[in-house]
Amino acid sequence: MSALDDEILSLLRFAAENAVMPRWRNLAEGEIEEKAKGDFVTVVDKEVEQFLAEALTRLAPGVEVVGEEAVHADPTIADRLSGACWIIDPIDGTGNFARGDGRFGIMIALADGGEAIAGWIYDPQRDRLCRARRGEGAYINSERITARASDQTPPTLAAMTGFMAAGQRALFEREIAPHYALVAAPGCAAEQYPLTTLGTHDIAIYERTLPWDHAAGCLFLNEAGGRCARQDGSPYRVDTQRKGMIGAATPALWDAFVERLDQSGYVPGSDS
């Protein structure tokens, strides 16, 4: 790993060992808040984001920091996404974490000009670091990995239908879902992207594509040789509010799935 990878891993491990894991399944009732219906934040999210923001600022003083909780408190911070910035998801899968579910992780991405150039996804329970740098491949810890599909027919599909509008979801369930083997999405992008890359899930379709959830994972999947892009084939950018993205273990799976979406009339962000 590079010196930067080593530094990031040290920060992630410190946050996990000193803030995340001691509070997992050990949160008091008053330490969990609901920002919006079904969207939770805990004291741990806030502590980890503050720690990482300060540490990353010391590491690269000229690079802005965009954290999920900071943007919730002050939406103008999202304006920094078009320049050089760190993007932090202090606990991805907060709802799982708050319930005592094990599917959560910490995500950091480095972006510039609206595009992710490096990303790190850390699983504190496995001490597993999924990492990627643009043009340099994808790695799990020190092992370079290649995305692979499952051997299932039909292919497996994880669909985040809860974020679809009612009409859009009905169209998806009628025209798309019957052609695939549906699998339960983990409710955590830090888990979903490795599942897609490592052959457990063949395809994942997202409606909500916030930068802290997707910058690191989309880069990781693409660098592993899978494909992650908007339905129209354009690359994911962290500085837009567009909806909809598809990640697939292979470009062929991505192409076939998107062709079916297009033929059905499925449009991201619509209520058709």
Domain boundary among 144, 172, 202: 144
Query: Is residue 217 located within the same domain as residue 170?
Result: yes
Specify the number of domains making up the chain.
2
59 in any annotated domain: yes
Over the stretch 105-140, which tens digit does the pLDDT of each residue have?
A: 999 999 999 999 999 999 999 999 999 999 999 999
76 in any annotated domain: yes
Domain range enclosing 14: 3-144
Query: Is residue 137 located within the same domain as residue 205?
Result: no
Q: What are phi and psi of 258, to 5 degrees?
A: -65, -35
Q: Is 7 among the annotated ligand-binding positions?
A: no
pLDDT at 47: 97
Kindly state the tokens that stand for 247: 């990640």
230 in any annotated domain: yes
Tens of each residue's pLDDT in the chain, 272 residues: 799 999 999 999 999 999 999 999 999 988 988 887 778 899 999 999 999 999 999 999 999 999 999 999 999 999 999 999 999 999 999 999 999 999 999 999 999 999 999 999 999 999 999 999 999 999 999 999 999 999 999 999 999 998 999 999 999 999 999 999 999 999 999 999 999 999 999 999 999 999 999 999 999 999 999 999 999 999 999 999 999 999 999 999 999 999 999 999 999 988 76
Q: Is 92 among the annotated ligand-binding positions?
A: yes
Domain boundary among 94, 110, 144: 144
Query: Is residue 35 located within the same domain as residue 137?
Result: yes
Location of structure tokens 């491949």: 137
Q: Is 5 among the annotated ligand-binding positions?
A: no
- Burial label for 201, CB within 10 Å (0-12, 13-18, 19+), is buried
Query: Is residue 111 located within the same domain as residue 211?
Result: no
pLDDT at 124: 97
Query: Is residue 7 located within the same domain as residue 140?
Result: yes
Q: Is 127 among the annotated ligand-binding positions?
A: no
Domain boundary among 114, 144, 174: 144
Q: How far apart are CA 244 and CA 237, in angstroms?
A: 12
223 in any annotated domain: yes
CA 237 to chain centroid, in Å, comes to 13
CATH of the domain at 66: 3.30.540.10
Location of structure tokens 């799976």: 253
74 in any annotated domain: yes
Per-residue DSSP letter, 140: E
271 in any annotated domain: no
Query: Is residue 20 located within the same domain as residue 92?
Result: yes
The pTM (predicted TM-score) of the whole model is 0.96
Query: Is residue 43 located within the same domain as residue 136?
Result: yes
Query: Is residue 112 located within the same domain as residue 164?
Result: no
Contacts of 44 (CB under 8 A, 6+ apart): 19, 20, 23, 27, 31, 90, 91, 97
Query: Is residue 192 located within the same domain as residue 223?
Result: yes
pLDDT at 186: 95
Q: Residue 154, preceding bond cis, omega within 30 degrees?
A: yes
DSSP H helical segments within the chain, as ranges? 3-15, 21-23, 43-59, 68-73, 94-99, 166-175, 189-197, 211-223, 251-264
Query: Is residue 66 located within the same domain as residue 161?
Result: no
226: left (phi over 0), alpha (psi -120 to 50) or beta: beta
Kindly state the tokens that stand for 262: 């297009």
Q: Is 89 among the annotated ligand-binding positions?
A: yes
CATH of the domain at 160: 3.40.190.80
Query: Is residue 112 located within the same domain as residue 24?
Result: yes
CB hemisphere CA count around 102 (13 angstroms) = 4
CA 62 to chain centroid, in Å, comes to 25
Beta-sheet strand order (sheet of 245-248): 181-183, 156-159, 203-206, 245-248, 227-229
Kindly state the tokens that stand for 182: 């549906």
pLDDT at 272: 60
151 in any annotated domain: no
Per-residue DSSP letter, 155: P
149 in any annotated domain: no
Contacts of 77 (CB under 8 A, 6+ apart): 66, 67, 70, 71
Query: Is residue 102 located within the same domain as residue 170?
Result: no
